Amino acid sequence: MVWQTKSTTGFGMSSAPIVLKTEGLVKKFGGITATQDVNLSIAQGARHALIGPNGAGKTTLINLMTGVLEPTEGRITLEGVDITRMAPEQRVQRGLVRTFQINQLFASMTPLETLAMVVSQQQGLGGRWWQPLGANRKVVERCEQLLSLFRLTEVMNQRTEVLAYGKRRLLEMAIALACEPRVLLLDEPVAGVPAGEREELLHTVAALPANVSVMLIEHDMDLVFDFATRITVLVNGAVLTEGTPQEIANDPQVKSVYLGHSEELTHG
């Protein structure tokens, strides 16, 4: 089978400015090409989804965007600024934030401490050593909001290592939001979260202000079609196609990749 890669610009895109763009992004590990010439654009206020079979290179792409991996070739631009060689923490300071597929939390700290720390760091107080954590009212208020938003208030004083998995996943997301992201990359955010809470979690994300652009990796197609206004399909490290949910649902190539034979991609 020969895959047709469709153009990623123009058709179906709103006139919103592009906040995060990759151009000709390539990543090779020795003989293996994990990312092949990926051109991806995330628009301002996007609700963008990245889908593809396992091993397609979705997490690698996020690692490249956030600076955890260095690209072999290509360019990454954030709000017009070339960030290809920029250190990961600097990208975060510019508003590019991600969550991890496997929870990356701070085991010995409580959710309250964790969020207070992140919010302090975000508000530029991370370097202050003479004031206790919690002395700043604005920090505490923001923590209160976040804890409430993610239903972590009851467990806010328990050490992260004793929290149940569902709560940890929520904390994972809360940490990302505490960074006041302008572009948010979510790596399978609802994996392992109980069915009842998934919708709610994604609803919280979708309800973020319009100036926060979101791209999410997900496998649950129901959620993807509910959430996304734009979908990119990644296969074997290359962009197969991109478009609106409707277009993707009816694309025969995408159906082949996922199902092996032509059938309707169910949603809704």
Partner 1 sequence: MKAMQDSLLAPSRFQAWEPLLWLLAFAAPWVVPGHALIVNEIAIVALFALSLDLILGYAGVVSLGHAAFFGFGAYTAALFAKLVMPDPLTGLLVGMAGATVLGAVCSLTILRGSDLTRLMVTLGMALILLELANKLDWLTGGSDGLQGVVMGPVLGRFEFDLMGQTAAWYSLSVLLGLFVLARRWVHSPLGATLKALRDNPLRAMAIGINVQLRLAVVYTVAAGVAGAAGALLAQTSGFASLDVFALDRSADVMLMLVIGGVGWLYGGVLGAVVFKLLHDVISGITPQYWTFWIGLFLVVLVLVGRDRLLKPRSWFGKPKAQRDSA
Rounded Cα–Cα distance for residues 202 and 186 (Å): 10
Q: Which of 44, 66, 213, 253 binds partner 1 (CB under 8 A)?
A: 66
Min CB(120)–partner 1 separation in Å = 4
* Residue 228 binds to partner 1 (criterion: CB under 8 A): no
* Helical axes 195-206 vs 165-178, angle rounded to 10°: 0
* Residue 216 binds to partner 1 (criterion: CB under 8 A): no
* Residue 144 binds to partner 1 (criterion: CB under 8 A): yes
Rounded Cα–Cα distance for residues 243 and 266 (Å): 17
DSSP symbol at 160: G
**Subset of residues 184 to 203 that bind partner 1, contact rule: CB under 8 A:** 192
Among candidate residues 145, 26, 8, 142, the one with its CA nearest the CA of residue 76: 26
* Residue 140 binds to partner 1 (criterion: CB under 8 A): yes
Distance of alpha carbon 156 from its chain centroid, rounded? Answer: 24
Q: Which of 47, 48, 98, 198 binds partner 1 (CB under 8 A)?
A: 98
Would you state the structure tokens that stand for residue 136, as one six-digit string? Answer: 């700043």
* Residue 132 binds to partner 1 (criterion: CB under 8 A): yes
Contact indicator for 16, 44 with CB cutoff of 8 Å = yes
Min CB(166)–partner 1 separation in Å = 10
Q: Which of 13, 86, 133, 208 binds partner 1 (CB under 8 A)?
A: 133
Nearest residue (CB) to partner 1, 39 versus 114 = 114
* Residue 20 binds to partner 1 (criterion: CB under 8 A): no
Residue 164 burial (C-beta neighbours within 10 Å; 0-12, 13-18, 19+):
exposed
Nearest residue (CB) to partner 1, 131 versus 246 = 131
Min CB(153)–partner 1 separation in Å = 9
* H-helix segments, the chain: 58-66, 88-93, 111-122, 137-149, 165-178, 195-206, 221-227, 245-250, 252-259
Residues that bind partner 1 (CB under 8 A): 66, 68, 87-89, 92-93, 97-98, 100, 102-109, 112-114, 116-118, 120-122, 125-135, 137, 140-141, 143-144, 147, 156-157, 161-162, 165, 168-169, 175, 178-179, 192
